[in-house]
Chains A and B, each alone.
Chain A
Amino acid sequence: MSDVLSLRRWFKIVSIATGVAGFLFVLALCVGYAPNLIASLKALLSREDPNHSILIDVRLPRVLLGFITGAALSLSGALLQTTLHNPLAEPYLLGVSSGGTFGATLASLLGATSFISRSSSALAGALLAITIVYLLASSTYFHPFSLILIGVAVNAAFSSLVLLLTAMLASHQLQQTVYFLMGTLTRPVEIDILLIVASIVAVLSIISILHANHFNALLLGDETAQSSGVNVKRLRALAFIISSILAAFCVSLTGLIGFVGLLVPHLVRLTFGSDHRILLVLSAVSGGAFLVVCDAVARSVPSLAIPVGVLTALCGSPILIILLWRQAKRSIE
């Protein structure tokens, strides 16, 4: 049967997607320095080239950071959308990222500048936000519009708290924080930290993919999943914890980058279907590639360093409007 996913077909799709993402990664690495792309590729391959060290030491960490962040945000969105039965769910719209930002900003205000303290504080904030959203949404049986409204409210509450903390920051910290709130990949991150975060994202991705069957069972509702042998409560808790950890790391490293978790899983679902064995892998890989490309575009605008979060919001907001319109149409039907 052509439409049944064999392991062979799974490997084929994943390999092609990874190959395309790898190509975009290299392309993004080369955009912007040497006079043209060929010269950049030569510089990348030749140690003697004067641009080589710039590409490896400056550009590579930034592109790697973009890929990790995009993959994490997209995977986080895919998990939330499935477990909340809502295509509009994503860490940014549900206030999870704002919760994380609150935690990270609080840590900065208290003088905790190390990556571990900032990300631990961000994780606490993200978990707090998702717990509030879950408790409030469960009382409305996770109705799609109620969930989004609750997310908007939680987002607004944490954003206000972040602004309050920002007002209390010293002037030398202010500009950096404001830029951080717009979502940026310009902040230098040590390669060791990047590798640690990359490993954590990879492990969480593998755990999620190993549960792909359980997430598939959830596609037809909680009752169906539970009777199929899935412990729905445990699975939902696992998805929330993974999503929060992913969002918290992203916030600690890059600030608020919205809509990646909404846009990418949705496009993957529309192109490749709802099977989580494909959806989760491709969401992560495509999310990474998407953010890397967005950053390359943002960098390419002469004399204007557009924060990448602004660009993702520009791409994502029309998709949100389309999704809301489709939801409303389905409700009427």
Chain B
Amino acid sequence: MKFLCVSCDEAMKLIEAKPPDRGSLTVVYRCPKCAHEFAMLTNPYETQIVGSLGVQVGPEGDGAAKCPFPGVMQEMGASLDGSSAASPWTPEATERLANIPEFARPMAKAGIEKFAKDRGLAQIDVEVLEQAKNFFGM
């Protein structure tokens, strides 16, 4: 979608996208020529459809949770944002976590932490990830 300032015949530029409020995004555009501003306010259907493309609109994306199996997550005792008070992760292991999709990270994090805890490992590093990989036959 593009926006045109009719009086200037100039393409409007995106200035700001505010995080969704009850499913509605506020996206502010400005005409680079006359500086006229307007805001596009999406309804939840529009927000969801764009969010379903897996793209980010503005600073916070569509605001919808990425994990498609929140029920499973809760059963595993993991939080949906992946935070936990369990074994600390080294920076290298945390970096490697970015190699799997966002939706799978909280579950992987919880599972690997359980794997480490069961073996009395105090810290999760790349070596623990390799052990888990071998343990699960990958």
The answer on A and B forming one complex is no
- Residues on B lying within 8 angstroms of A by beta carbon are none
